[in-house]
Structure 1
Amino acid sequence: MDDKTDNESIETPLAEIHDAHAQVVQTMPGFREREGQCQMIDAIAYTLLGGTASPLIAIEGQTGTGKTLGYLLPAIPAAKARKKSLIVTTATTALQSQLMRNELPALAKYSGLQFTAVMAKGRSRYACPFRIETALAQGGGHADMFGPDADLPDNTGGFTPNEDQSALLADLQLQLTTGEWDGCKDELDEDIDSRLWSAISSTPHSCTGPNQCAPRGLCPFHRSRADMREADVIVANHDLVLSDVFLGGGIVLPDPKDTFYIFDEGHHLPEKAVEHGSARSSIGAMREHVRSLQRLLPKLPAHIARPDIREPAKDAESALKALGVAYGELTFTQDRDELFRYRAPHGKLPEPVREAANALHAEMAVLWEVANDMAEELDDKEGSAGAQQIARVLGPEMGKLSGLLENDLRLLRLLKTEQPDDAPPIARWAEHDNNELWLEAAPVTAAPMLRTMLWDKCAGAVITSATLTSLNRWSRVRAKAGLSGSDGTQYLRLLSPFDYPRIAELRVPWMKHDGGQANGHTEEIKAMMPSLLAHCSSGTLVLFASWYQLNAVYKSLPAPQKKQVLCQGKLSRDTLVARHRKAVAAGKASVIFRLASMAEGVDLAGSACEHVIIAKLPFAPPTSPIEATRAEWLEKHRKNPFMTMAVPDASLKLIQACGRLIRCETDQGRITLLDRRIVTKRYGKQLLDSLPPFHQSIERKPPPAPENTRQAAFT
C-alpha cells in the first residue's frame, strides 16, 4: 500500500473522530473539554488506525481525565474503518453496566456516531429453556416424561427444586416465553438460589442448537451470541476475554486477530491472567470425580457404547492414595486461620511428590478422555426420542464432570512439570484442615502467556486505568503484563486536571507505632479512631489492612459511634453504599469500614466521602504462596523483592485508596494516613512523590499536651 493510501486510510476516519468529538463538545450538557482527554483520543486513533509502529498502547489517565469517552470515541470509528470487532473489557460488573446504561447511549446521542453495542457474558449466566422444563418435571414428580425405564440423575447434582422453587421456575418459564425476561441471571429482580440456577443454566452439553428445543429466537444464550455477531461494540469482562484467549481465541468472542481490545481497569489484567493459569483441587474432590464417572456411565442410553473403566478407576484411586501419602511426609505449618500449609521452596516439589503427581496424571488422563468422549456422544443426540431425552439430561452432567476432570489434569500437570532454571517458577502449595487436603499451583507471572496468546495475536489493544504506573515508572506494569519498552508499544501518562493542593489534604498524624508493629499499631488506632470520627459530619471511608484490625477497632468504638458505622461483611456492598448515601443525604454522619483491598469497589462522590482514613500502607501479605515464590525468584536473580515488587505494588494500591476521596471537580476533603512509615522509611518519599499533589500536613513530632493537662501536672 503506498503512502497516499496509508494517509487516506487514517485521515478519513480521523476526521470522523474529530467531528464526533466536536459534536460532543457542542451538544452534551455539562461537558467540559479536557486537554488530557484530547491527547488520549488522538493517541488511540493513530494507534488503532495503523499510524504507529505497534498496535499496542498503555494509557494512564488519572481521575478526571475522562477516560471512558477518551477511548470509546476514537475506537469505534477506528474499528469500523479497519473492519475489526471492538471489545471493551472491564474488571468489574459495575463498570460494565455503567458502559451499557450510561456511557455508550450518551455517546450515541451526542456524537452522531452510528453503532450497536451488546454485553457479552459467560454461558452460565443464561438460562436454558430445556433445563427449566426438566427441573420443573423433576420438582413436580414427572420423571416419567423420559419413559418408565429411564434411570436418570436429577440433572442438578443432587438438587431437586421444592414447591416454592418450582413455582419460581414456572414464573421464569412464562417470562421467557412472553419476552418479559431475557434469560440472563443478572437481570433478575431478586437473587436466585445458586444450586437452583446451576440446575437451569445453559451448558454446552445440554444444547441442541439455537432452534431445536425452543421456538426460534427464544434461547437466551444463542440470542445473545447472535446479537454479539452483529454488534459493533462488545462489552465484556477480563475473565471472559482471558478464558477465550487461553482457549486459543475465537471460541466465545471474535478471533483476536480480527479484534481491537480496550482493557479498562487494565491494572487488574495481569493478576486475572495468573488466576486463569492456576488450578486447585483436593484429594477428596478428585476421588469423587472418579466415582461419579463410574456411577454415570451405566445410565447412558443403550445405543452408546460404554467403556469398562473398572481397572483405570481402581488405578486412579490407588494413585490418589499414593499422592496423599507423599504429601503426608511434608512439613505443614499452621496459620492464623487454623489451616496447615506447605509451600514448595522456589516452586520445586520434592521428587516423591512430583513422581506421584505424574503417575496420577497418567491415570486421570484416561478417565478424562472417557468422560470427554461420552460427552461428545451425548451431544450427537442420536437414537430414539426417549434416548435423546435421556441424553439431553445426562449431557450436562457428563460435560460438567469432563470439565472437573480437565481441571484436575491441569493441576496435576502444573504439579509434575519441571520448569527450566531460567524460566519463571510455578508456585506450588498445599493446605489441610485435618479433614481435606487441597492442592494448588499457579504461575508467578502471566507475562509470557499474555505476550504469546494476546499481544502477539490481537489486531490492536489499549490498556488503560487511572493507576498503571508504580512510583512514577512503567517498569512494574511492563514486567507483570508482558509488555515491552522496545517493541514499539506506546506509553502515555495523563495527569489529573484537579486542583489537588486546593481541594484535598493528606495528613499523617504523629503516632508511636507504625504499620509494621501490628499489635501496638492496632491499639493506637483504637485510641485515635473516636476523635477522628468525631470531626466527621458527613461521609467517611475507613480502609483497613485486615479483618482482624477492622473488627478490633469497630468493637472498641463508643456505642453512639458504632451506630454510625457500616461494616463490610455485615451487608452487601450495594446495600451498604445505599444506606450510607441515604444517611449523608439526610444530614447525618455516616462511616464505612472496609478492607483496603476492596477500595476500588466503592465510588462515593461529594459529601458521601469527605474523609478517607487509611489505617496502614497496603503491602501485600508476605504469607501469600505466590508472592513468596515470586520473591525467591527475584532474589535468585539478585534483585531486592521488597523494592522490586512490594513497594511498587503498594504504591499502586495507595494511589487507588487515596483516589476514593476526589471523584469530580467539586469534591473536597481530607485523607488521614495512620502509618508513619511513609515519612520514616527510605521508600516513604517514593510513595509520597507518586501520590497526587495533595496539600500535605505531616506531624514531625508529638503534638503538645493540652494546656489544662500541663497545669494539672503542677497542681
Structure 2
Amino acid sequence: MLSSSLKKTIRQVHQHVANNLTDYRPRSSQNYLVAEIAKTLAGEYHKKQRICVIEAGTGTGKSLAYCLGALPLALAQKKKLVISTATVALQEQLIAKELPFFKKHSGLDFKFDLVKGRQRYICAHKLHNALNCDSQTQMEFMPTLTSPLSDMETKCLKQLYDAYINKKWQGDRDSWADTIPDRVWGLIACDKHACQRQMKAHQTCPFQLARQQLMQMDVLVINHSLLLADLDLGGGKILPEPDNTIYVIDEAHHLAHITRDFSSAAATIKGTIDWLDKLTKFSGKMAKVLVGQKGIGQNFKLCDSVNDANKDLKVVRDILDNADFEYSKDDTYRFEHGEIPKSLHAKAKDISEATLDALRCLNKMHDTLTQDVSDGDIKPYVADPILAESGQYINRLEQLNKLWFSYATKGEGTPHARWIKRLEYKSHHDHLLSDCPIEVGYYLKDKLWNECAGAVLCSATLSALGSFDHFAYESGLAKEEGVKFIKVPSPFDYPKQATLRIPASSIEPTDKEFSDHIAKTLPEYLNTKKANLVLFASYWQMDHVSKFLRTKGFNLLVQGEMSREALLKLHTKNIDEGKGSILFGTQSLSEGLDLPGKYLENLIITKIPFAVPTSPIEEAQAEFVQSKGGNPFLSITVPDAAKKLVQSCGRLLRKESDAGTITILDRRLVTKRYGKAMLDTLPPFKRQIDY
C-alpha cells in the first residue's frame, strides 16, 4: 500500500518541480498517471504482479510522470530504478536534460548514470597488446581480422593508446570525438571472457571502473538490448538483481521486436567448418600455456568434439548442395512451419551435442588459464592475447550451439522461423542457416515480469485499433492477473490545432500508376513557404517522386542523401532564414523526429505504412496465425500499420502551441472497413474528407 508519508513526498516533489518548470500548467492526465504508477508499484492492485502498461499521447509528460510516480517509491524501498529506452535520442534527453532537472528541483537526493554494455569500452590490456605486436599477431589475436590493419587504422590505434595512457580519454567508444573503425575496435573492445574482474590486472579497466560506479547509482538509464543481455545471463549480472529493481520500459512498443532479434541465431556451413579447424589449432596452443597437465585432457576432448561437428557439418553441406529447395529471388528458402527435413534434423542433434561438448571444454580451459594468472603462475602479458582469442571462439561456439540446438528441437515449445540463404562468392558458395522465435512473450514473462519488483511500460503507441490485446500478447502480458492497462489522452486541442485532410482520388495505392500519381499531384499539397515533411512507404517511391519534382524545379531535402543530423540542420536553417523547406523521408523518420512549431507545419503521408511480409520471419508469423485459423492481415499487418500511422501523424504536433495540416493520400482510410478503424484510432483532428 502507498503510505501517507510517501503520498505526501510525491505531492511535495511534484510541487517543487512544477514551481521550476517554465510554462507549467497542471494536467489532470499527468496527475492521474503519477497516481496510477505509484499505486501499481506499491502493490495496491496486486501484491506480486506490480506492472502497468501506459499509452500516453504526445505532450502528456511521460518521463516526468514516471519519475514522480516511481522514483520516490524506489528510494523509499531501497530499490534501483532502471529506465530502458529503444533509442539513443531518448537516452540523451533523459541523461542531459530530464534527470538533471528533476534532481535539481525535486528535493530528492539520488544519483543517476547512463549504463552501456561492456563492448562500448576498451580492455586496457587488449589495447596495449594490439599496439605492441606485429600484424600477424594482431590477426591471431582477433580471428575475424582477415587482413592486417591499414596505415590509417594503425594511426587511429596509436592515437587511442596515447590518449588513454595520458588520461585524456576514459576508454569508452562514445566519448571519442572521431569515428573508430570497426576493425580497430574489434581488436581492443572489452568482452565478458577476456576482461576478468577477479584478476588484479583487470580491476582498473574502464568497464570494471564503470561497473563499480554503477553499483552506487539509484537510477540507471539503459537500452533494451542491454536489458535483454542481462536477462539472458540470468539477470543481475550486468544490472542490479531483477527482484531488487523497478523497471521503466520507455518506447515499449519496440520491446518484443528487439527481444525477437536478440533471441535469433545464424551460422554458415563452410565458414563454420573453416573456423572450427582453426579452433583445434588454437586449443593446442592454449593447452601448452596452461600450468601442469590440466589443459591436455580438455584439449583432446575439444578436438574430438570439433572433429565430430565438422564431419556432420560436411554431411549437411552435401545435403544442402543436393537438395531441390525452391529458393526465392533473393536466394532464400524458408522451411514451412519451421519444420526441417528428417535428414537435417538428425544431423542437427549431433552437431548440437558436439558443439556443446566443445564449448564446455573451451570454457574449462579458459577458466583454468584465468586461475593460473590469478595464482601468479602465468604472466598476464602471456595470457591476455590467448584469453582474448578464446573469448572470440567461445562467443562463436555459443551462437553456433544456439542455432543447432534450436534446429534439433522439433515441434517443441514456441514456434520458430527457420530459413536458408545461399551465398555466392568468386571461388566458392556457402549456405547461411538462420533461426528466430516467432513469439517472445513467454521469454519476457519468464525472465522479466515474473522476477522484477515492478515495471512501468509506456509509449505513445501501444494500443492498436483501440485495444491493448496485440501488445499484451506479443510482450507476454496477456491474461496476466493484476497488470494494469492505462490509456491517457494528450492535452492537445486537436480539432483547433490541426486539420486532417484526405483528398479525392481515383487511383488506388495498389495501382501501378500510384507513384506517378503522387509525383504529379504532390505539389498541390506542398507549401513552399513553410516547413513540409513528406513520408513515403518505400525508398523506391521516394526516389521516383523526388526525381520527378526536381525536374520541375523543387528544392528537396531527401533522406539518405546526407546524414539525418545534417538533413535536419539544413531543414531548420532554411526555416530560420524564411525560405521554407521540403523534407522527404521514409518510415524511419516517422518516429523520434522532433520538429516543433514552425519547423513542421505541413505533414503529408503518401500511403498507409503497411509492412510487406517479405522477410522469412514475417512470412512465418503469418503462416503461424493462419495455422491457428486466424487472419494474419487483420491480426498482425493492420494493427502494426495502425500504430505506425499514429506515430507518423504524431510528428506534426509536439507542443500545445503547435498547429498545421496533415494530408494522407491513401483513400483506403475511407473506402475499406479496416481503414475506417485505423482512422478512428487517430487523434480527433478536424477532418476534411474530399469526395
1:560 Cα deviation (Å)? Answer: 6.4
When residues 245 and 486 of structure 1 are mapped into structure 2, their CA distance, relative to the original with a 3 A threshold, is closer
When residues 354 and 504 of structure 1 are mapped into structure 2, their CA distance, relative to the original with a 3 A threshold, is same
SS in 1 for 2:482: coil
Task: Give the aligned partner of residue 453 of structure 2.
Answer: 459
When residues 515 and 682 of structure 1 are mapped into structure 2, their CA distance, relative to the original with a 3 A threshold, is same
> 1:277 aligned to 237, 259, 263, which one?
263
Offset from partner CA, 1:578-620 (integer Å, 9 cap, x none): 2222222222232332221452142222222222222221112
Q: Which runs of 4+ in 1 moved over 6 A?
A: 383-386
> 1:527 aligned to 501, 520, 538, which one?
520
> 1:235 aligned to 205, 221, 226, which one?
221
- With normalisation by structure 1, the TM-score equals 0.90
Do the aligned residues in 2 keep the contact of 1:129 with 1:213 (CA within 8 Å)?
no
Task: Give the aligned partner of residue 613 of structure 1.
Answer: 604
> 2:73 aligned to 69, 74, 78, which one?
78
Task: Give the aligned partner of residue 632 of structure 1.
Answer: 623
When residues 623 and 162 of structure 1 are mapped into structure 2, their CA distance, relative to the original with a 3 A threshold, is closer
1:300 Cα deviation (Å)? Answer: 2.0
SS in 1 for 2:200: coil
Do the aligned residues in 2 keep the contact of 1:289 with 1:405 (CA within 8 Å)?
no
Counterparts of residues 281-680 of structure 1 (less than 5 Å): 281-300=267-286, 302-304=288-290, 305-306=295-296, 307-308=299-300, 309-328=302-321, 329-335=323-329, 339-382=330-373, 388-420=380-412, 424-434=414-424, 435-485=429-479, 487-517=481-511, 519-533=512-526, 535-559=527-551, 561=553, 564-680=555-671
Do the aligned residues in 2 keep the contact of 1:115 with 1:232 (CA within 8 Å)?
yes
Task: Give the aligned partner of residue 192 of structure 1.
Answer: 180
> 2:236 aligned to 250, 274, 299, which one?
250
- With normalisation by structure 2, the TM-score equals 0.93
1:157 Cα deviation (Å)? Answer: 3.0
Structure 2: 5+ residue stretches without partners: none
Offset from partner CA, 1:442-500 (integer Å, 9 cap, x none): 11111111111111111100000011111111111111111134501101110011111
**What letter is aligned with 2:394?**
S
* More displaced stretch, 659-668 vs 565-574: 565-574
When residues 532 and 436 of structure 1 are mapped into structure 2, their CA distance, relative to the original with a 3 A threshold, is farther
Identity %: 34
SS in 2 for 1:432: strand
Offset from partner CA, 1:366-394 (integer Å, 9 cap, x none): 33233323322332243877753221011
Structure 1: 5+ residue stretches without partners: 1-5, 144-149, 701-715
When residues 130 and 561 of structure 1 are mapped into structure 2, their CA distance, relative to the original with a 3 A threshold, is farther
When residues 151 and 401 of structure 1 are mapped into structure 2, their CA distance, relative to the original with a 3 A threshold, is closer
Task: Give the aligned partner of residue 213 of structure 1.
Answer: 201
Counterparts of residues 33-48 of structure 1 (less than 5 Å): 33-48=26-41
Do the aligned residues in 2 keep the contact of 1:210 with 1:222 (CA within 8 Å)?
no
When residues 299 and 587 of structure 1 are mapped into structure 2, their CA distance, relative to the original with a 3 A threshold, is farther
When residues 211 and 667 of structure 1 are mapped into structure 2, their CA distance, relative to the original with a 3 A threshold, is farther
Q: 2:117 aligned with 1:125, yes or no?
A: no
**In 2: Cα distance, 1:238 partner to 1:456 partner:** 18
**In 1: Cα distance, 2:491 partner to 2:608 partner:** 26
**What letter is aligned with 2:341?**
P
Offset from partner CA, 1:93-149 (integer Å, 9 cap, x none): 11111100000001011211111001111100011222221122126x897xxxxxx
When residues 554 and 436 of structure 1 are mapped into structure 2, their CA distance, relative to the original with a 3 A threshold, is farther
**In 2: Cα distance, 1:662 partner to 1:151 partner:** 53
SS in 2 for 1:463: strand
1:178 Cα deviation (Å)? Answer: 4.7
**In 2: Cα distance, 1:295 partner to 1:156 partner:** 16
1:667 Cα deviation (Å)? Answer: 1.6
SS in 2 for 1:230: coil
**In 2: Cα distance, 1:659 partner to 1:694 partner:** 11
**In 1: Cα distance, 2:8 partner to 2:94 partner:** 25
**In 2: Cα distance, 1:173 partner to 1:55 partner:** 47
1:311 Cα deviation (Å)? Answer: 4.4
**What letter is aligned with 2:520?**
A
1:312 Cα deviation (Å)? Answer: 3.6
SS in 1 for 2:624: helix
* More displaced stretch, 178-187 vs 271-280: 178-187
**In 2: Cα distance, 1:107 partner to 1:577 partner:** 29
Task: Give the aligned partner of residue 180 of structure 1.
Answer: 168
**In 1: Cα distance, 2:372 partner to 2:153 partner:** 29
